[in-house]
Amino acid sequence: MKKMPEVVRMEEALSFDYQSNGNFHLNFKTNYGFIRSLCIKGMVDDVNNYADNLKRYKNFVQVGIGGSALGATASIEFLQGIYHNLENEKKYFVLDNIDPERMKFILSLDFKDTVFHIVSKSGQTTETISQFLIIYEKVKESLGKDADRHFIFTTGKSGFLRDFGKEHKIDMFNIPDEVGGRYSIFTPVALVPLAFLGFDIDSFIEGAKVAVRAYRNGWSTPNDFAEFAVGECKNGRNMLVFFAYKDRLLSLADWFRQLWAESLGKDGKGQTPIKALGVTDQHSQLQLYQDGPKDKAFVFLDSVNLIDFEVKEGYLKGRKLGEIMETEKISTIKALTEHSVNCTQFFINKIDEFHLGAFCISLMIATAKSGEILNVNPFNQPGVELGKKYTKEALGL
Q: Are 131 and 99 in contact (CB under 8 A)?
A: no
Active site residue: 6, 127, 232, 262, which one? Answer: 262
Of residues 240, 210, 213, the one with CA closest to residue 228 = 240
Can you spell out the DSSP letters for 54-109?
GTT-SEEEEE-SGGGTHHHHHHHHHHH-TTHHHH-SSEEEEE-S--HHHHHHHTTS
Q: Which of 283, 312, 317, 393 is catalytic?
A: 283
Backbone angles phi, psi at 349, to 5 degrees: -85, 0
**Is 25 a known active-site residue?**
no
In this structure, is the dihedral angle defined by the CA atoms of residues 369, 371, 375 and 378, taken in order, positive or negative?
Answer: negative
DSSP letter at 3 equals: P
Is 339 marked active-site? Answer: no
The catalytic residue among 90, 112, 294, 388 is 388
- DSSP-assigned letter for residue 124: -
Q: Which of 86, 145, 87, 89 is nearest to 113 (CA)?
A: 89
CA–CA gap between residue 82 and residue 87 (Å, rounded)? 10
Which of 384, 375, 366 minimizes the C-alpha distance to 234?
375
Q: How far is it, in rounded angstroms, from Cα 362 to Cα 349?
A: 14
What is the rounded radius of gyration, in angstroms, for the C-alpha atoms of the chain? Answer: 22
Residue 120's region, left for phi above 0, alpha for psi from -120 to 50, else beta, is beta
Tell me whether residue 2 is one of the annotated catalytic residues: no
Instruction: List, in order, residues 6 or more apart from 238 with CB less than 8 Å away.
Output: 270, 271, 272, 295
Q: Are 252 and 78 in contact (CB under 8 A)?
A: yes
Q: Give the residue numbers marked as catalytic.
A: 262, 283, 388
